């Protein structure tokens, strides 16, 4: 598998439900960042979690990082129709000067 793989590839839920997306990676990292992309638009930064952190919260977002399993999860609580977008994890690989390696993304659809 490739660095920064996400699952599921697609997720469809009802408004108000929680959405969980997972990301796996292969190498040592400085940090892992989650981005959102609305169709055909730019990348919006959501949250960064450093390699020495295990959990981080920002509003309705909760990110966990397990460096022993080389995996991360993004939880969006109480989802809204406006959360409909693609979500990508991106790893800043240790000692590679800032280059981010992106996963394939999870396409989230939140139905009203």
Binding site for another protein (CB under 8 A): 30-31, 33, 35, 40-45, 48, 50, 88, 90, 92-93, 96-105
Distance CA 80, CA 88 (A): 18
Q: Minimum CB separation from another protein for residue 85, in Å?
A: 14
Beta bridge partners of 111: 14
43 phi and psi, to 5 degrees?
-95, 120
Q: Minimum CB separation from another protein for residue 50, in Å?
A: 8
71 phi and psi, to 5 degrees?
-145, 155
Q: Minimum CB separation from another protein for residue 51, in Å?
A: 10
Q: Which of helix, strand or coil describes residue 40? A: coil
Beta bridge partners of 44: 36
Q: In this complex, which beta carbon is closest to another protein, that of residue 45 or of residue 111? A: 45
Q: How far is CA 21 from CA 14, 81, 94, 98, in A?
A: 15, 17, 23, 24
Q: In this complex, which beta carbon is closest to another protein, that of residue 15 or of residue 101? A: 101
Q: In this complex, which beta carbon is closest to another protein, that of residue 68 or of residue 95? A: 95
Q: In this complex, which beta carbon is closest to another protein, that of residue 50 or of residue 54? A: 50
């Amino acid at each position: 598998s490739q660095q920064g793989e996400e699952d599921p590839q697609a997720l469809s839920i009802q408004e108000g439900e929680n959405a969980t997306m997972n990301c796996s990676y292969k190498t040592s990292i400085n940090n892992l960042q989650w981005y959102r992309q609305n169709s055909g638009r730019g990348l919006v930064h959501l949250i960064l979690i450093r390699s020495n952190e295990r959990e981080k919260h920002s509003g309705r977002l909760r990110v966990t990082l397990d460096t022993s399993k080389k995996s991360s999860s993004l939880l969006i609580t109480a989802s809204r129709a406006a959360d409909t977008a693609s979500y990508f994890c991106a790893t800043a690989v240790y000692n590679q000067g800032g280059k981010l390696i992106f996963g394939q993304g999870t396409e989230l659809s939140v139905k009203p």
